[in-house]
Amino acid sequence: MAILGGGAAAMTAAHYMSRTPELRERLEVTVYQMGWRLGGKGASGRNLAESARIEEHGLHVWGGFYYNAFRLMQECYGALDRPPGCPLRTWTDAFQKHPLVVWEELVDGQWRHWPVETPLNDGVPGTGGEDPTLWQHLQTLIGWIKNSIFVFPHEDVRAAAAAPDTAALLHGVHAEALSTTPDGTNHHGILSGLERLRGWFHGTLQDHIWRNDEARRMYILLDLAQAVVRGMLRDGVPWRGIMCIDEHDFAEWLGRHGATSGALTSAPLRGYYDYFFAYAGGDASQPRISAAIALHHLLRLVGEYKGALFWKMGSGMGDAAFGPLYELCRRNGVRFRFFHEVKELVPDGGSRSLAAVRLRRQADLKRAEYQPLVTIAGLPSWPSAPLYAQIVDAQAAEIQRRGANLEDPLTDWDGVADVELQAGRDFDAVVLGISIGAFPQICARLIAADPAWRAMAANLPAIQTQALQLWWPGDAGSLGWDMGNATGTGYGQPLESWSDMSPVLPLETWPAGSKPGTVIYFCGIMDTPELPQRRDPGFLAGETGRADARAADWARQYLPHLYPRAGAPLARYVRANCTPSERYVLDLPGTNRYRLEADTSGLDNLALAGDWIFTGQGGAVESAITAGMLAAQALTGEDLRIRGALPSPWRRRPSLRRLL
């Protein structure tokens, strides 16, 4: 097995093809990774020259409904059984419940905090029975609408809801939803009741209710919820399948089913687009996302979460997720070939197989295998730069002299040798786990030969994102924030999302006299130029400089609202995620039909794994991990009990040959 790439999907496939003695007896797994670390878009690094501070690609929190991702982490930490005293010894050390979300609401030209303390529950993500059906989600949503109207935070609405006719209507709609089985013919009574309810609800709205923060916010949420329910019923989503609305943009779909203009421009909906970086071309004026993906993810996010709505990691994502995965896979016999850049996949057109994979070895090592981790505060961690002492001295010196970035294919470094993996000699099958942003370069022959590959590459754009991290002395309260540890979104572009990540600070090694008390991570979209067609060492530097200038402008304009007493930060880190494999894959309306699946590459020895294949889950670590499981399952035949993946209505004929 040759696995190309080291992101979430690739590493998941490596784990599930090596986790048992039986698999290890029959499969030899090798991961080929450009540069010195694993993680893909989820990689983080420790800057060893700057107090071993954690430097992320962006902002990562995990949804409490991430069944496959949490199950993977539980398996990993359980099998690794780290020694007592290791800072992230168990998965519950590595991931902590995070219930507080803050949207930023623009009212009369002024920003206001909209905090939502989501309820905790006793569930454990990655465990439990079957997922709710779409109809069960709809029933739950109707029940929430009914209950929220009865306790609406304005006495006029509560009084009107308590009137006999209105109360009967509310209870009747909910009762009919609970007693109805969806088949496409018997939902009209529910829909009629909802239409009457909508007319009543909008009729009770007065200007003084809209001016009241609590009343306005509940109205917005109810307005959006009613539009979701009406849209699901009108378009037959519970019985036709959620992909029946894939052609529509989510906000446009909500508007078509009655959401008001106030709800469509509200903080929750803007924040949801921010959550997915859902802006065509990275342009804030072009919000676009598939209604199918947005709705499926939203129903699971709010209706299936366990423990907490979100979970934060106790260190960088590299330390919390990819370090343990690497250690366990290495223990299970997986081989890692760092400093191997994939240059081209070569199909054999006659047999519909992959004939070869061409790579470029970026550096020669002093010993047989690169040891990528360093121990920081007792935790195995990824450094933010190569460990040059393990590279042949002359090459290490020249790489550093040029300032070459070995994670950037456009950098000023040619590598040291060409490597060709040949089918039958070096691999029996390949898992392609590299992001689609790199496909025009590495999959050009596949794209030219296969219309399905050509359509996928043309219709799944990937955009740049950017990140900012700020370290301050003192706690968040001293900066003027008084709501506790929060994650926020829906704020000013381009750094519209942020999170207080101060709990990771004990794992950084700041000098006693300059130890920060707060670190905040910010991230957002970045308008996305075309990639250079040839080597351009200045591209990454230029985009980083542009991100730095945009971050400075943003901080001057927007930071005082969040942290009004913040002075100059102790430290600052800016990143532009602009290399081909770092770009974020968008879920634009009508594009899911172009996504291939793990076993439908058209080649019998090439499995596909990444958040760009069809899983029905959208761009998230859960979809990438699901994709890696699907690839491993297709190759081994083992039932991995994958949850949440949807069957594609546009499924292509499977081509992959099972190995076991």
Give 562-571 pLDDT, tens digit per residue: 999 999 999 9
- The residues, ordered by sequence, that sit 6+ positions from 49 with a Cβ below 8 Å of its Cβ are none
Question: Is residue 471 classed as helix, strand or coil in its secondary structure?
Answer: strand
CATH architecture observed for domain 2-48+62-92+315-460+603-636 = 3-Layer(bba) Sandwich (3.50)
What residue type is assigned to position 62 of the chain? W
CA 146 to chain centre: 32
Q: Is pLDDT of 132 > 90?
A: yes
Question: pLDDT tens for residues 479-498?
Answer: 999 999 999 999 999 999 99
Given this model, what pLDDT does residue 3 score? 98
| Helix, strand, or coil (residue 320) | helix
Identity of residue 391? I
Given a cut of 80, is residue 293 above it in pLDDT? yes
Six-digit token pair at 187? 């939902």
pTM of structure: 0.97
Q: Quick one: pLDDT band at residue 448, thresholds 50, 70, 90?
A: very high
Asked if 619 contacts 583 with a C-beta cutoff of 8 angstroms, the reply is no
Find all residues with CB under 8 Å of 631, minimum gap 6, and list them: 9, 13, 431, 433, 598, 599, 607, 608, 609
Helix locations, 207-341, DSSP H: 207-210, 213-234, 237-240, 250-256, 261-264, 267-275, 291-303, 317, 323-331
Between CA 354 and CA 423 the distance in angstroms is 7
Is the Cβ–Cβ distance between 657 and 605 less than 8 Å?
A: yes
| C-beta of residue 486 within 8 angstroms of C-beta of residue 115 | yes
Element of type H or E holding 440? helix 439-442
Cis peptide before 569 (omega within 30 of 0): no
Burial class of residue 84 in the structure, from the number of CB atoms within 10 Å of its CB (0-12 exposed, 13-18 middle, 19+ buried): exposed
Q: What is the pLDDT of residues 23-72, one digit of tens each?
A: 999 999 999 999 999 999 999 999 999 999 999 999 999 999 999 999 99
Kindly give, in sequence order, each residue whose CB lies less than 8 Å from that of residue 638, ignoring residues fewer than 6 positions away.
16, 632, 660
Interstrand relation of 497-500 and 417-422 (parallel, antiparallel or unpaired):
unpaired
Mean pLDDT of 258-269: 95
Give 184-189's long-range contacts (Cβ < 8 A, gap of 24+).
184/236, 184/239, 184/240, 187/233
Q: For residue 610, give every residue at least 6 positions away whose Cβ sits within 8 Å of its Cβ, in sequence order, or none.
A: 5, 7, 9, 10, 432, 433, 434, 435, 436, 585, 624, 627
* Residues 644, 300 contacting (CB under 8 angstroms): yes
User: Which pLDDT score is estimated for 69?
Assistant: 98
pLDDT band at 533 (very low <50, low <70, confident <90, very high): confident
Helix (H), strand (E), coil (C) string for 515-539: CCCEEEEEEEEECCCCCCCCCCCHH
